[in-house]
Chain A
Amino acid sequence: MLEQTVLAGFGGQGVLMMGKLLASAAMDEGLYASWLPSYGPEMRGGTANCIVVVSDEEIGSPVSDACDAIVVMNQPSLEKFESKVRPDGTLIINKSIVPVETTRKDVNAHYLEADDIAEKNCDANRSANVVMLGALQSVRQILKSDSVRRAIACSFKSKGQQVIDANLAAFAAGTNALRTEPIGPTR
């Protein structure tokens, strides 16, 4: 098993955190994992992204230009990364602030209003990243949901139970979002 995921958005949307949650959950399951942020020169308001590789065997390259899944939190990220998903791979797009659809016809694109879902479920759109993570989990199912929940609880421990609960709720909302709104590859 080899799963390569890019998580991309504005700086501040929590895409690096999202990647760390994935990598932590993989480590928790005894899998190999790597997390690599983009650290090149970026302008303010530009894109932040990271790539997470999860595997049941030793990981070679921590980078890929044919990813299994890409989580797109904003429009510049869609433009920058939609070409980096392999044919038949997964795109998860935050419809709240991405007004366009992917130009790719050979991938499975899923759209959800992550900011709105986060605001409705957890009173803050700050957890839109975890909503997207929930959506990713419901589509790819590479890791166990329990491990991701444990990673959330562990990562937000220093911020208190309220923050943990809000993020667990965001994760659940994201997981359900695509189930209740079946707008998959046909869209």
Chain B
Amino acid sequence: MPATKQLTKGNEALAMGAVAGGCDCFFGYPITPQNEVPEVLSYEMPKRGRVFVQAESEVASINMVYGAAAAGKRAMTSSSSPGISLMMEGVSYIACAELPCLIVNVMRGGPGLGSITPSQGDYFQACKGGGHGDYHCIVLAPWNVQEMYEFPALGFELADRYRCPAMILADGVLGAMMEPATIRDDDAPPDVPEKPWATSGRNGRNHKNIVNSLVIEPYGLRDHNLKLQAKYAKMQCETRWDTRHTDDAEILLVAYGIAARLALSACKLARKQGVNAGLLRPITLYPFPSDAIVECAAGKKRVLVVELSSGQMVEDVRLAINGKVPVDFYGEMGGVIPSPADICRKIMEAVQ
């Protein structure tokens, strides 16, 4: 496919990635630090005859996504932490109604209105529900601008495959930073699977398609939940992860997104000081690459989880490793970015 390497801002790459990923409709409400996403889509979508709506609120945005997804369209929204909180009811409805869509969270410091600086405090919200009820989103964590460009298409693809909302969990640094990224020049639409369940008109069928998230009868809702759980079990084969310098490592760092970038630099610093450190980076946060982490951590002295939070993903790492290797944690909150030197100090403390 024809493509050019361009110095691109993360948020802009994400917007162009959504266009390339066949997004039909975008609904959103402004919030820092993701505003370049709707900005770019506000002119790129109408140019192609696609839908861009700046909604009156986040609640409206997610419900517009619900409607467009029910009609079989590739629909998305983008926001940042407080805005995503407002959307949670809608996400739960979409998950229950088994609709595919894409939700982007460019995380900022919380809780509350918090700050506009980068954070990873929304891991629990993204991976453990967030809204009510027993549901999951597929959660993808990019770590560079190239992945900001590629993950919208991947998110749509996985969402369609499992009829489940997909979420891209980025942060303020990834949104604001520029890096060379390979961006497609053409506008060829991706392959989108048939959606025979869509409420897009009867089209000669002998039955009505109904999209609904109300299952009032308890056994009926139990059965629906069992179906959802079976789907989440099937989804476990979609785990993705990436490693750097793990083969000879005595300590394994586990981090995602921007924290993984900081951790990679810390590994290099540690190696200069004679400690072989390696990195495993979960790319899918749900489903979580537990098996890969167990396998990679086997034989290592220690595991160090690094997050821009008080320690959220570390719980899943500890569950996976189940006490076989000691797991340490280092995190910063509120939009503070630890330096690689800070992380390197924690590596040194851990191996001593």
Q: Which residues of A contact B (CB under 8 A)?
A: 20, 23-24, 27, 32-37, 39-41, 58-66
Contact = CB atoms under 8 A, between A and B. Distances in A.
B292 interface: no
Given A60-B265, A61-B261, A39 B339 contact: no
Contact of A66 (B33, B263, B335, B341): B341
Contacts of B262: 60-61, 63
Contact of A35 (B115, B177, B264): B177
B7 A24 contact: yes
Contacts of A34: 177-179
Most buried by A among B7, B117, B173, B262: B7
B215 to A, nearest CB: 44
Contacts of B335: 40
Contacts of A24: 7
Interface residues on chain B, size class:
20 to 34
A61 B264 contact: yes
A161 B115 CA distance: 42
B278 to A, nearest CB: 13
Nearest to A61: B265
Q: Lowest 4 A-B CB distances belong to which pairs?
A: A60-B265, A60-B264, A61-B265, A35-B178
B339 to A, nearest CB: 5
B339 A65 contact: yes
A39 B33 contact: yes
A156 to B, nearest CB: 15
Query: Quick one: which of B177, B178, B266 has the most chain A CB within 10 A?
Result: B178
Given A32-B180, A60-B267, 19 more contacts: A20-B178, A23-B178, A32-B179, A34-B177, A36-B173, A36-B176, A37-B176, A37-B177, A39-B32, A58-B264, A59-B179, A59-B261, A60-B266, A60-B268, A61-B261, A61-B265, A63-B262, A65-B339, A66-B339
A60 B262 CA distance: 6
Contacts of A27: 5, 7, 180
A33 B172 contact: no
A23 B6 CA distance: 11
A40 B178 contact: no
Nearest to B337: A63
Contacts of B179: 23, 32-35, 59
A37 B264 CA distance: 21
Contacts of B176: 36-37, 39
Contact of B339 (A33, A36, A59, A61): A61
Nearest to A155: B7
Contact of A60 (B32, B177, B340): B340
A65 B179 CA distance: 20
A64 B337 CA distance: 10
A41 B116 contact: yes
A31 to B, nearest CB: 9
A65 B173 CA distance: 16
Contacts of A66: 339, 341
A2 to B, nearest CB: 9
A34 B177 CA distance: 7
Interface in B261-298: 261-268
Given A34-B179, A39-B33, A40-B117, A62 B261 contact: yes
B344 to A, nearest CB: 11
Could you say which of B115, B180, B265 has the most chain A C-beta atoms within 10 Å of its C-beta? B180
Contact of B7 (A33, A37, A40, A65): A33
27 contacts: A23-B178, A23-B179, A27-B5, A32-B179, A33-B7, A34-B177, A36-B176, A36-B178, A37-B177, A39-B32, A39-B33, A39-B116, A39-B172, A40-B116, A58-B264, A60-B265, A60-B266, A60-B267, A60-B268, A60-B340, A61-B340, A62-B173, A62-B261, A63-B173, A63-B337, A65-B341, A66-B341
A33 B7 CA distance: 9
Nearest to A37: B176
